Each structure stands twice: as structure tokens, then as C-alpha cells.
Amino acid sequence: MNALKLVIVAIIVGGSIWLLIEHWNWISDPATVKVEVIKWGAWGPVVYMLLYAVGPSFLVPGAVMTIAGGLAFGTMWGSVYSLIGGDIGAMVAFAAGRFLGKSFVERIVGERFHAMLQRIAKHGFQIILYLRFVPVIPYNALNLLAGASPITFYDYFWATMIGMIPGTILYAFLGDALWHPMSPKFFLALLLIGASIGCGEIYRRWTHVKIDD
């Protein structure tokens, strides 16, 4: 079993290194993801959702993928495809965290997240919902941590589904606005993203759930 876990980690690390070397432009310039997706024609949305589902596991930030979706498909369809791909990826990473186990995940993401595991165990839904609004922990690290914690799949699923909606729509809106970076639409997108994060912070204070030490 430990050998299988090591193989999974090796695939993630190796895939991350390969992706950073071969496709760093996907991270530095999300518009290049659009070029890649357009090559697939009618299959473009499917390819994009698959890329979104696996991309964060290989260190591609979820926000970058969502911005790329807005660039490629516009706000509405970029949001829809990003939510589908992101939710699939979140569930897969959660399953990986549950399979790898608490001690193994702690070695991967660092013991500094040990206290977070304990808090997720007590206030799973509220913490996952907050961290979807305010992504202070890397997307895939959070998914692995949640999988390794005692949180129920039901709470994780609904906190993820609900919590990802505002940020996904707003980052897709930002991606769509990047075609005209000095337009009012672009600055409105930035303002709304800031407001969304502020709402997440208000929610945390309202629920009195402690996130950090």
C-alpha cells in the first residue's frame, strides 16, 4: 500500500515538473490555454474541463484555469465549464487524500497544516466554504487536506459546490474582460472579486470559526 502511495505522489510530482517545463506559458499567460483549446474544435470544452480537472493537481492554479476559461468561452460558458471541471478535480483530489491518509498527506503538504486538519474535523462545512471564498490555502492542498480529515463527503461536496460558484463566475468574468484590460468591465471584475473575498471574511467572523492560530 505504501508503495502505491509513493507511486501516486511520484506521478503528481513528476507531472508537475513536466508541466512547469513544457507548459509554463499556461500559467504565465492564460490566453495560451485558449489557443490550445481552440485546436480541438467542438471537443474544446471537453478538453478544457479535463485540463481543469487535472491541472490543479499538477500545480496549475485554479484561478488561472478559470481566467483562461473566461478568455476562451466568455463569462457564462467559461463559468459553467470551469465549475464542472473544478468540481470533478476537487472530488478526485478529495478521494486521493482519503486514500493516502492523514499522516501521508501531512508529509506532503507540511505539518503546519496539522491544526487545520483538526479544525476541519470540527467545523468542516464552514471552513471548506470559507476557503472556497477566500483561497488562502492552495486549491489542491485544501482538497487533499479535506480528504485526509474526518469531514463527511456530504459536507465537503456541498461546501465545495456552493463555495466555488462566486469565485468561478468572477474569475471567468475577469478572463473575459482581459481582452480589454483598461475597460470599466475589467476594473468592475477586480472590484467584485475583492467584494467576494470580503464577504467570505464576513462569513468567517459571523460563524466564529477560527481558521488559523
Provide the pLDDT for residue 140.
74
pLDDT in tens, 22-49: 555 555 566 676 677 777 777 888 888 8
Q: Is residue 200 part of a domain?
A: yes
Q: In this structure, is residue 185 part of a structural domain?
A: yes
Residue 28 in domain: yes
Residue 197: which pLDDT band, with cuts at 50, 70 and 90?
confident
Higher pLDDT, 5 or 208: 208
What's phi and psi for 145, nearest 5 deg?
-60, -45
Q: What is the largest CA-CA distance in the chain?
A: 54
pLDDT of residue 115: 67
Tell whether 87 is covered by a domain: yes
What domain count does the chain have? 1
CB count within 10 Å of CB 77 equals 16
Mean pLDDT across the stretch 97-102?
75
More confident site: 60 or 69: 69
> Is pLDDT of 209 > 70?
no
How much is the mean pLDDT over the chain? 77
Domain membership of residue 77 (yes or no) is yes
Cell reading at 93: 483530489
Cell of 121: 474535523
Q: Is residue 112 part of a domain?
A: yes
Q: What residues make up the domain containing 42?
A: 2-207
Handedness of CA 81, 86, 92, 95 (dihedral sign): negative
